[in-house]
């Protein structure tokens, strides 16, 4: 086992035991990886090319040594994806703050992860900030629905993967997702 | 983790077709701010269907569409069923008409629950409920054919499709009389009772779940649908039951305990409340509640319903019931109203205890017999007043006190004039009560009333004595007579302990009545009570018999003379057992001469006197006298009952016991043994008579010096007496005493 994988395994074990500092370390590690990947991609890619959340997260997973560091267990993947979603959201917010634009979209338009992740321009930067605020409200109103949005929107998990990660059924995930979408759309409309 | 009210309501509404959402939200809660928040969320979801897109991408980077929430409609398949059309939607889910092709072609009603079994709801609970429902097998209950879970974990249930009309609509459309409505509801009660016995509550009884159709012979047949289904849908949405301010469906037919969400407290009596609401509507044509959709269960008395304010409305409603306005106005204050009101009591304890009891009262109403439901007593009304208005009642109580005083004064003035008529009516009411009350005992064994086919009469008497029906406890005199009758039956069944209780209860009731009302019953009851306690409290028994003898001596009635002779015999027996042979002899002789003087000398009575006197003579060592008396007795009994009856056996056993000390003891011993076996076969091995006969045999053995054989018979008899059905502890103690004396004798 190489160094990152051993580190990951240790973090997973400590997170299982409920360690808050291990959670923080995991978040820091994922966050660092995601930033690096995004920075490299932006330098490499032509403007207009969007990044994919799934791709970013997957690469971060590989670089952190996930496949060797306990990647098989869903419990570990849950820890990882939860951290990845938070890290991703943080990166997007930072990015959006840097490029805050006066252009405002409306809740009626689709707000896709692709448009948010279009790092070359900032058409949706202001909306990602509004989304962030709405997400905070959602977390208060419906913590489970909030978690579904985090996993699905920021790390691109499918409904089935999300159900598996949350130890829930696909139908329950779909119902949370539907509620979360309605909630967020409503709050962005009225923002 | 439980969902917030906003999310819960949003999700339930979101699962519905768009056109049903608005009405669902209106029904689901009366919290206006909750309603408006959920409405605006639903509006946002409708305006921005693609919001947030489909965040999952495949390996080529194309968006993967999310799976759609299952929308069911014509053509969809659930299990082996194909949905044909929607029949309706209610609190728990949507009902479809569906068709099955295999293994047989039929149409079913398919109910699909709105909420799924959530992750923290174990499926076994669903399975248990489903099995309970499938156990029900009654022509008045739509059969559950099949049940399962949809792809998205929503429970579905396939039921027999009943093409009937709701009971209220049907009765009005066919202008059913109140009697026919009562009879129809009695059939509904049979079905409900069947389910209750299988441990299934309906929980959602309302006219649209009580359908009526015509059978092939044209008579109406009620059929209940959705039995126990409400519970199945609970499995997925328990939380919604307990959240304040939210009700699953309409409360119009719900019991107060259901409205309060006390799901654990629900029992048969909650269904009975709902039946009461339906019954009230069948009678009055309106809900019993001022506001059916509120949580208040305050009942409007049938005569005060607002629907009765216009003469036209009254005429219409009466016509639907095949009656004139006047007759119907009278009826809605009658027995059927009382039955409905008894179902609608707030306290479940005051309602009918079972659907069976409600059905019996409805049948009594149909047959113009008295019903157990009666007008609330003054005390009941007062207690209700005080509960509702604790402070105001202080002054209300003093007003009521004055009212009662005035009424008493008026009553006293009227009393003299009406006293004769009243007495006659009271006596008639009492005999009707007695008749109806005991009729219930006979009906109790009828398998139609839910009892097993092998419900033994003995058990019926015991159960009946434990819970006397209302007709028998309404009036103390009636109750005393009923308990006395039961006591005799129990005594005859060998249930001495229970017989004693009933005798004592009967005597206590009579002792509280004025002598003019108790005089005719008292001697019989005193006698019965004395017999039952003769072994345990002989002195008290003697005093009661002496009291009875004094009462009886004063009358000229031939029945009383007969009774007095029996009392004298019993007094003789008690005196004899105390060792007072002189007293015993004079009582018995008195009894015998009185019996012989009776105009129609009854052989049984004379035989009893002969037995009593013979017993004294024998104890005084006058064997020839005793023998002569027993010989006469045996002759009397044999000529009345023939040679082969328990009483004749008894007489022959007595003779053999006397003769055994004379010549040829073996012959008499064999006679005694044979008679013991016969008695045992006749009464059963643990019956008092059989045991007493064996003891006679053991005594005879001992008297001719066959000690070992005697001991063996005693022991065998004691073993039989260990059976719990033998309860005559007094006799047993006496026998043991004899036995122990025999053991220590040289």
CA distance B128 to chain A (A): 22
Closest CA to B673 of B705, B629, B710, B636: B710
Closest CA to B615 of B599, B633, B602: B633
- Chain A contact for B65, CB < 8 A? no
Residue B236: the pLDDT is 38
pLDDT tens string A88-109 = 777 777 666 665 543 444 444 4
Residue B585: the pLDDT is 92
Residue B384: the pLDDT is 40
CB contact under 8 A, A107 and B56: no
Q: Is B299 helix (H, G, I), strand (E, B) or coil?
A: strand
Q: Which residue of B has its CA nearest to A168?
A: B119
Closest Cβ–Cβ partner in A149, A153, A185 for B44: A185
Residue A42: the pLDDT is 58
What average pLDDT does this structure show over B613-633?
91
Residue A53: the pLDDT is 63
CA distance A128 to chain B (A): 11
CB contact under 8 A, A158 and B56: yes
Residue B510: the pLDDT is 87
CA distance B149 to chain A (A): 13
Closest Cβ–Cβ partner in B50, B69, B152 for A110: B50
DSSP-assigned letters across all residues of A108-160: TS---HHHHT-TTS-TTHHHHHHHHHHHHHHHHH-HHHHHHHHHHHHH---HH
Q: Is B659 helix (H, G, I), strand (E, B) or coil?
A: helix
- A-chain residues within 8 Å CB-CB of B152? 170-171, 174
pLDDT tens string B705-736 = 898 999 999 999 999 888 887 877 778 888 99
State the count of interchain CB pairs (< 8 A) between A and B. 113
- Chain A contact for B163, CB < 8 A? no
- Chain A contact for B42, CB < 8 A? yes
Residue A124: the pLDDT is 55
Percentage of residues in chain B having pLDDT higher than 70 = 77
The DSSP code for B285 is S
Closest Cβ–Cβ partner in A114, A167, A175 for B11: A175
Closest Cβ–Cβ partner in A107, A110, A145 for B7: A145
pLDDT greater at residue B606 or residue A167? B606
pLDDT tens string B414-431 = 444 444 455 556 666 666
CB contact under 8 A, A142 and B66: no
Q: Choose, out of B55, B65, B112, the residue to mutate when testing the contact with A (most A CBs < 10 Å).
A: B55
- B-chain residues within 8 Å CB-CB of A159? 56, 66-67
For residue B298, say if its preceding peptide bond is cis, omega within 30 degrees of 0: no
Q: In what order do the strands lie in the sheet with B81-89?
A: B77-78, B81-89, B93-100, B106-113, B155-160, B144-149
Query: How does residue B435 score in pLDDT terms, banded at 50, 70 and 90?
Result: low
Q: Which of B2-11, B240-249, B250-259, B279-288 has the lowest mean pLDDT?
A: B240-249
Mention every residue, 6+ apart, whose C-beta is less than 8 A from residue B470. Answer: B372, B374
Query: How does residue B125 score in pLDDT terms, banded at 50, 70 and 90?
Result: low
pLDDT tens string B477-505 = 888 888 887 887 777 676 778 888 888 88
- B-chain residues within 8 Å CB-CB of A169? 116, 118-119, 153
Closest Cβ–Cβ partner in B42, B66, B119 for A168: B119
Q: Which of B47-61, B638-652, B659-673 has the lowest mean pLDDT?
A: B47-61
- B-chain residues within 8 Å CB-CB of A178? 11, 14, 45, 69
CB contact under 8 A, A178 and B40: no
Q: Is A64 helix (H, G, I), strand (E, B) or coil?
A: coil
What average pLDDT does this structure show over B402-411?
45
Residue B487: the pLDDT is 82
Query: How does residue A73 score in pLDDT terms, banded at 50, 70 and 90?
Result: low
If contacts are CB pairs under 8 Å, which of residues 483-522 in chain B contact chain A? none
Beta bridge partners of B57: B63
**Residue B189 pLDDT more than 90?**
yes
pLDDT greater at residue B671 or residue B132? B671
Instruction: Catalogue the active-site residues of B.
Output: 204
- B-chain residues within 8 Å CB-CB of A55? 61
- A-chain residues within 8 Å CB-CB of B56? 54, 152, 156-159
Exposed e or buried b per residue across A100-132, where buried means at least 16 C-beta atoms within 10 angstroms of its C-beta: eeeeeeebeebbbbbbbbbbeebebbbbbbbbe
- Chain A contact for B8, CB < 8 A? no
With 0.95 as the threshold, say if the pTM is over it: no
Place of tokens 């441990």: B199
Percentage of residues in chain B having pLDDT higher than 90 = 16
Kind plus residue range of the DSSP H or E element containing B97: strand B93-100
pLDDT tens string A114-167 = 555 544 444 556 667 777 888 888 988 899 999 888 888 877 777 888 887 787
State whether ipTM is beyond 0.90: no
CB contact under 8 A, A145 and B6: no
Closest Cβ–Cβ partner in B1, B6, B40 for A144: B1
**Residue A189 pLDDT more than 80?**
no
């Amino acid at each position: 086992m190489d160094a990152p994988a051993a580190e990951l395994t240790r973090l997973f074990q400590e997170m299982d035991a409920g360690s808050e500092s291990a959670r923080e370390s995991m978040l820091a590690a994922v966050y660092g990886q995601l930033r690096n990947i995004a920075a490299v991609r932006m330098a490499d890619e032509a403007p207009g090319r969007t990044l994919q959340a799934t791709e970013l997260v997957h690469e971060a997973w590989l670089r952190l040594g996930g496949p060797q560091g306990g990647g098989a267990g869903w419990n570990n993947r849950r820890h990882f994806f939860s951290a990845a979603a938070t890290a991703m959201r943080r990166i997007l917010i930072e990015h959006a703050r840097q490029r805050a634009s006066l252009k405002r979209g409306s809740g009626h338009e689709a707000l896709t992860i692709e448009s948010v992740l279009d790092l070359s321009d900032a058409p949706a930067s202001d909306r990602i900030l509004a989304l962030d605020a709405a997400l905070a409200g959602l977390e208060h109103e419906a913590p489970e629905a909030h978690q579904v949005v985090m996993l699905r929107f920021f790390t691109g998990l499918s409904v089935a993967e999300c159900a598996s990660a949350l130890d829930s059924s696909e139908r329950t995930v779909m119902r949370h997702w539907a509620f979360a979408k309605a909630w967020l759309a409503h709050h962005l409309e009225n923002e | 983790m439980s969902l917030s009210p906003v999310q819960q309501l949003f999700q339930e509404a979101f699962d519905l077709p768009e056109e049903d959402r608005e009405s669902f939200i209106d029904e689901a809660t009366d919290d206006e701010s909750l309603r408006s928040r959920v409405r605006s969320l639903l509006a946002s979801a409708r305006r921005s269907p693609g919001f947030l897109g489909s965040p999952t991408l495949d390996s080529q980077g194309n968006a993967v569409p999310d799976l759609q929430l299952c929308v069911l409609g014509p053509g969809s398949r659930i299990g082996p069923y194909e949905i044909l059309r929607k029949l309706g939607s209610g609190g728990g889910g949507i009902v479809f008409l569906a068709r099955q092709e295999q293994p047989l072609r039929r149409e079913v009603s398919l109910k699909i629950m709105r909420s799924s079994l959530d992750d923290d709801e174990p499926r076994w609970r669903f399975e248990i409920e489903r099995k309970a429902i499938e156990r029900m097998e009654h022509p008045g209950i739509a059969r559950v054919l099949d049940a399962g879970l949809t792809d998205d974990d929503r429970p579905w249930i396939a039921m027999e499709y009943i093409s009937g009309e709701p009971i209220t609509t049907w009765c009005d459309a066919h202008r059913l009389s109140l009697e026919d409505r009562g009879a129809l509801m009695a059939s509904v009660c049979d079905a409900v009772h069947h389910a209750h016995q299988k441990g299934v509550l309906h929980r959602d009884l309302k006219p649209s779940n009580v359908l009526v159709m015509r059978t092939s012979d044209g008579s109406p047949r009620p059929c209940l649908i959705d039995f126990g289904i409400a519970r199945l849908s609970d499995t997925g949405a328990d939380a919604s039951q307990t959240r304040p301010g939210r009700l699953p469906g309409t409360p119009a037919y719900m019991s107060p305990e259901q409205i309060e969400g006390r799901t654990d407290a629900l029992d048969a009596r909650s269904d009975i409340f709902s039946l009461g609401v339906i019954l009230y509507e069948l009678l009055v044509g309106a809900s019993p509640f001022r506001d059916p959709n509120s949580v208040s269960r305050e009942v409007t008395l049938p005569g005060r319903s607002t629907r009765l304010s216009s003469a036209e409305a009254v005429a219409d409603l009466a016509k639907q019931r095949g009656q004139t306005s006047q007759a119907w106005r009278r009826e809605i204050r009658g027995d059927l109203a009382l039955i409905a009101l008894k179902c609608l009591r707030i306290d479940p304890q005051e309602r009918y205890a079972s659907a069976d009891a409600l059905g019996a009262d409805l049948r009594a109403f149909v047959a113009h017999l008295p019903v157990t439901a009666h007008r609330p007593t003054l005390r009941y009304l007062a207690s209700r007043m005080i509960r509702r208005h604790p402070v105001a009642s202080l002054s209300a109580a003093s007003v009521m006190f004055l009212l009662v005083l005035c009424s008493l004064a008026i009553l006293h003035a009227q009393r003299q004039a009406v006293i004769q008529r009243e007495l006659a009516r009271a006596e008639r009411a009492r005999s009707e009560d007695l008749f109806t009350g005991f009729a219930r005992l006979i009906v109790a064994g009828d398998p139609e009333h839910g009892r097993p086919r092998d419900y033994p009469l003995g058990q019926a008497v015991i159960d009946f004595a434990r819970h006397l029906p209302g007709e028998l406890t309404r009036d103390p005199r009636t109750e005393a007579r009923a308990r006395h009758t039961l006591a005799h039956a129990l005594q005859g069944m060998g249930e001495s302990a229970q017989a004693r209780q009933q005798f004592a209860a009967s005597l206590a009731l009579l002792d509280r009545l004025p002598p003019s009302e108790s005089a005719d019953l008292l001697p019989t009851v005193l006698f019965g009570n004395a017999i039952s306690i003769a072994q345990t409290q002989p002195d008290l028994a003697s005093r009661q018999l002496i009291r009875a003898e004094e009462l009886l001596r004063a009358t000229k009635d031939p029945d009383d003379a007969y009774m007095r002779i029996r009392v004298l015999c019993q007094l003789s027996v008690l005196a004899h057992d105390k060792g007072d042979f002189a007293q015993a002899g004079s009582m018995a002789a008195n009894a015998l001469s009185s019996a012989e003087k009776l105009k129609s000398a009854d052989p049984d009575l004379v035989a009893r006197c002969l037995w009593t006197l013979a017993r004294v003579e024998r104890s005084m060592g006058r064997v020839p006298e005793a023998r002569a008396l027993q010989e006469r007795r045996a002759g009397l009994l044999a000529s009345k009952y023939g040679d082969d009856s328990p009483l004749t056996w008894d007489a022959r056993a007595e003779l053999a016991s006397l003769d055994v000390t004379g010549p040829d003891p073996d012959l008499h011993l064999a006679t005694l043994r044979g008679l013991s076996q016969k008695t045992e076969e006749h009464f059963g091995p643990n019956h008092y008579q059989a045991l007493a006969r064996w003891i006679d045999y053991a005594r005879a053995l001992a008297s001719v010096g066959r000690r070992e054989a005697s001991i063996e018979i005693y022991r065998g008899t004691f073993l039989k007496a260990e059976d719990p059905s033998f309860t005559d502890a007094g006799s047993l103690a006496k026998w043991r005493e004899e036995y122990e004396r025999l053991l220590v004798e040289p």
